Amino acid sequence: MSFLRSIASEFQKVFTTRMWWLLALLLVGYVLVLAGGFGAFLGWAVRNPDAAAATGGNTAVPPGVDLPSLIYTFATSIGYVFPVLLGALAVTGEFRHRTLTPTFLAEPHRSIVLGGKFVSQLVVGAGLGVAAFATSVGAGAAALAAFDLETGLDQSDTWALVGRGVLAMALWGAIGVGLGALVPNQVAAIVIVIAFTQFVEPILRLVASFSEVTAGIGTFLPGAASDALVGASIYNMMPMGSSSPPLEWWQGGLVLLGIAVVATVIGGATTWRRDVT
């Protein structure tokens, strides 16, 4: 019962602040612009190949890449940073605002408190995933339909991809909790999230593709594992050097879950156990 009370308390902490809906609005706006804009551009390029070629560069979709899936997965390929941030803020905010003392007085078992955050952010991350995919599918399908292209909305594979994407966003929320437990300083955690997701990992994935050996290792990076779980990504259009077969979707899910659990356990055994001031 104490664990359920802890989960309920964590939901209350999330939804009584403005941060969750501010991040949700940013996520929806970000995905709307990119998925809708990219979908419209690719739809135009497919219908007007000569005009697209005249603009310079390669605007063709690589063989074997499903255009609707590519567009719809903007929700995860660029939106996963938001559940990570919210998960990290759920932990670091307690340190910053000095609310851990009353939290631990209400529930002395710190592992229960951290577990409550882990579970609650899984659910909140899934909620962000639903919002992100509703936006990317809506905007992307509208853009494709405007150019009389297949939207894939009548295919079960498309909805299976959406379901796996929501799961990926949930796991990213849990990873955020693990990061917050490892790095309780809020500013540092935010910088790490933004720097790693937007700069460090994309560079690592590119560098890893230069060799067959490192390409295999690169598939276990969290972003690559997330793409494998979902089944498609904007990275499918990017030229790479050596390529390694991606993980199976369930393997990608296990990698993300493993990262979330390991980070949370290590954080719970170290910084989470320190005296609270």
- 129-164 pLDDT tens trace: 999 999 999 999 999 999 999 999 999 999 999 999
Helix 2-15 to helix 19-47 angle, to the nearest 10 degrees? Answer: 70
For residues 85 and 123, is the Cβ–Cβ distance under 8 A? no
CB 266 within 8 A of CB 183: no
pLDDT of residue 235: 77
Name the maximum alpha-carbon separation found in the chain.
Answer: 68
Banded model confidence at residue 233, pLDDT cuts 50, 70, 90: confident
Q: Is the pLDDT at 173 greater than 90, yes or no? A: yes
Choose the weakest-confidence range: 64-73, 113-122, 183-192, 218-227. 64-73
* Mean pLDDT value of segment 61-87: 89
Give the residue-averaged pLDDT of 69-87. Answer: 95
Spatial separation of the C-alpha atoms in residues 168 and 166, rounded to whole Å: 5
Both tokens of residue 202? Answer: 């994309």
| Tokens describing residue 153 | 């909305």
Q: Does residue 52 register a pLDDT over 70?
A: no
How far apart, in whole angstroms, are the C-alpha atoms of residue 92 and residue 176? 10
pLDDT higher than 90, residue 254: yes
The mean pLDDT value of the chain amounts to 90
Q: What's the rounded Cα separation, in Å, for the pair 36 and 162?
A: 17
CB 79 within 8 A of CB 105: no
Q: Is the dihedral of CA 90, 93, 98, 99 positive or negative?
A: negative
- Output 100-108 pairs: Cβ under 8 A, ≥24 positions apart: 100/276, 101/276, 103/9, 104/276, 106/9, 107/2, 107/5, 107/6, 107/9
pLDDT at residue number 277: 63
**Mean pLDDT (whole number) for 244-258:** 92
Q: Residue 64: pLDDT band by 50, 70, 90 thresholds?
A: low
Residue carrying structure tokens 């690719």: 42
Tokens of 107: 């529930």
pTM above 0.85, yes or no: yes
Lowest mean pLDDT among 47-56, 76-85, 202-211, 260-269: 47-56
Neighbour tally for 124: CB within 10 Å: 26
Residue 62 has what pLDDT?
A: 62
Q: Burial-class residue 223 by CB neighbours within 10 Å (0-12, 13-18, 19+).
A: buried
Please name the amino acid found at residue 134. A
Q: Name the pLDDT band for 206 (thresholds 50, 70, 90).
A: confident
